[in-house]
Structure 1
């Protein structure tokens, strides 16, 4: 798999077919997904207006990859500062990074429930989110309360405003969870919802 930058350039390349450009966008999402792959994919398809048939609006892929790239640049700027600090810590013999590496994603278990704001607005909030379980939503920060989302096997504690998981991502999903959501995800994947 190539780098984010390589696939971003492929998404721009008008000599490629719209489908090939769309595949390049999906690879970019696999490389950098602030909401997790599925929710980031759904967000970008919605925000950029990517139609079910990419040939109908090939420039939608460019809009999506640019939004993702802008969010990634925000994260990279923070990460580069952290790298310099971490390098000094290693030279001083500090084995555990303090502070930890800048957070690059939060988990949204429901791919259709995520912030509607551009990723560039949400990314700084993700960077400021504390590690571990969240007492309140770092994305909304409005105290809208919590809700439970049941995926067929597990109940997840989510922010009522934006849908972020407040209890983190389960390390091992229970058996059958993906099967329970497979049909809805197929519709999201094909941009039919």
Structure 2
């Protein structure tokens, strides 16, 4: 299996047919799908206007790949590797296994409307600060979160798919 950066490069490569690039964008979700696969795909296609018939807007998959936090992490890792640090000091915040579905939405049609980097950044910052989601949604900030249920405003299930809180 390839990495997210390798798959993202294929999405950006304009020498590929637009339909292939759209499929590659879906393949990126095997590496990074913070809302779960289906909800993240729905979010990307809605927020970045990725049409079903990609020929209508062949540049749309590239718009959906904006992940500034991942780019910053990659730049830091390149510097660390140059000085000989082969193992990261901290876990990769966009790790396919560690952060997959960190803002899981059980209903693929109900997910946060804010841009993906904003929502994921908010959740990762709260987790890094040790914030417990008791009564408050980490994705949207709703104070009336119900225990073990998806947020009524953004649809995020606290704690992810397997560990509702």
| Same fold, judged at TM 0.5 (above) | yes
If asked which structure has higher relative contact order (CA below 8 Å, sep 6+), I would say 2
Instruction: Tell me the residue number matched to 2:83.
Output: none
Q: Indicate the structure (1 or 2) with the bigger Cα radius of gyration.
A: 1
The 5 Å alignment of 1:60-79 reads 60-65=60-65, 67=66, 69-73=67-71, 76=73
Asked if 2 retains the 8 angstrom alpha-carbon contact of 1:71 and 1:123, the reply is no
- How far residue 109 of structure 1 moved from its aligned partner, in angstroms, is 0.7
The TM-score, its normalising length taken from structure 1, stands at 0.63
Asked if 2 retains the 8 angstrom alpha-carbon contact of 1:144 and 1:161, the reply is no
User: Over the residues paired in the alignment, what is the CA RMSD in angstroms?
Assistant: 3.1
Residues in 2 aligned to 1:53 and 1:84: alpha-carbon distance in whole angstroms = 43
- How many residues are treated as equivalent by the alignment? 144
Residues in 2 aligned to 1:72 and 1:34: alpha-carbon distance in whole angstroms = 13
Instruction: Tell me the residue number matched to 2:17.
Output: 17
The 5 Å alignment of 1:167-186 reads 168-170=160-162
Asked if 2 retains the 8 angstrom alpha-carbon contact of 1:137 and 1:143, the reply is yes
Cα distance change, pair 106–129 in 1 and its aligned pair in 2 (3 A): farther
Residues in 1 aligned to 2:159 and 2:40: alpha-carbon distance in whole angstroms = 19
Give the structure with the larger helix fraction. 1
Give the structure with the larger strand fraction. 1
- How far residue 45 of structure 1 moved from its aligned partner, in angstroms, is 0.5
Q: Return 5+ residue gaps in structure 2 as ranges.
A: 81-86, 92-96
Residues in 1 aligned to 2:145 and 2:153: alpha-carbon distance in whole angstroms = 8
- How far residue 141 of structure 1 moved from its aligned partner, in angstroms, is 1.4
Q: Return 5+ residue gaps in structure 1 as ranges.
A: 87-100, 148-155, 172-193
- How far residue 13 of structure 1 moved from its aligned partner, in angstroms, is 1.6
